[in-house]
């Protein structure tokens, strides 16, 4: 079960270069249900996600590099490309700060995954976070993949 909240970002942390990051590319074979392929640095996965916002089922399966590139030719819509910074928080939480590349290069999102819905609902956003967009489909990557740009 994936339980996460998602926020727009008003201002990037000044010490961003101190954190590790991943270079991510992903595409969608289907948006209903969500079936995604992802390349994160040199790790390749196929993911199924159920419907939902705050919490939903998520299954990840490894792919080979060859399988990823074979399936990449079959995606619908936009390829999403972004740099994901991993910023540790107290309570064993991590902010996944996504800075998107073209055609969504003005978009910056912060996501935090939680162990329980109660923990997610009790979370107080940091001062550099903007609007809570957890319940907005417009900020789900699967929606962005279908957007005409």
pLDDT band for position 128 (50/70/90)?
very high
- Say how many domains are in the chain: 1
* Euclidean distance between CA atoms 10 and 104, whole angstroms: 16
Output the pLDDT for position 148.
81
CATH number assigned to the domain comprising residue 86 = 2.40.320.10
Q: CA separation (Å) from 20 to 5, 85, 116, 135, 139?
A: 21, 6, 26, 28, 23
Which residues form the domain of 140?
3-145
Task: Give catalytic residue positions.
Answer: 28
pLDDT tens for 28-83 read 999 999 999 999 999 999 999 999 999 999 999 999 999 999 999 999 899 999 99
Confirm if 30 and 47 have CB atoms less than 8 A apart. Answer: no
Q: Cα-flanking dihedrals φ and ψ of residue 147, to 5°?
A: -70, 135
* Euclidean distance between CA atoms 59 and 73, whole angstroms: 22
């Amino acid at each position: 079960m994936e339980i996460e909240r998602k926020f727009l970002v008003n201002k990037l942390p000044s010490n961003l270069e101190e954190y590790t990051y991943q270079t991510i590319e992903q595409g969608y074979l289907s948006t209903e249900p969500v079936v995604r392929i992802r390349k994160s640095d040199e790790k390749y996965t196929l993911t199924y996600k159920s419907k939902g916002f705050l919490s939903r089922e998520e299954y990840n399966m490894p792919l080979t590099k060859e399988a990823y590139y074979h399936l990449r030719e079959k995606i619908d819509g936009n390829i999403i490309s972004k740099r994901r910074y991993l910023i540790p928080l107290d309570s064993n939480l991590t902010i996944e700060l996504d800075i998107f590349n073209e055609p969504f290069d003005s978009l910056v999102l912060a996501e935090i995954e939680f162990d329980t819905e109660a923990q997610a609902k009790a979370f107080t956003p940091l001062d550099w976070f903007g609007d809570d967009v957890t319940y907005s489909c417009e900020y789900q990557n699967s929606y962005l993949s279908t957007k005409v740009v």
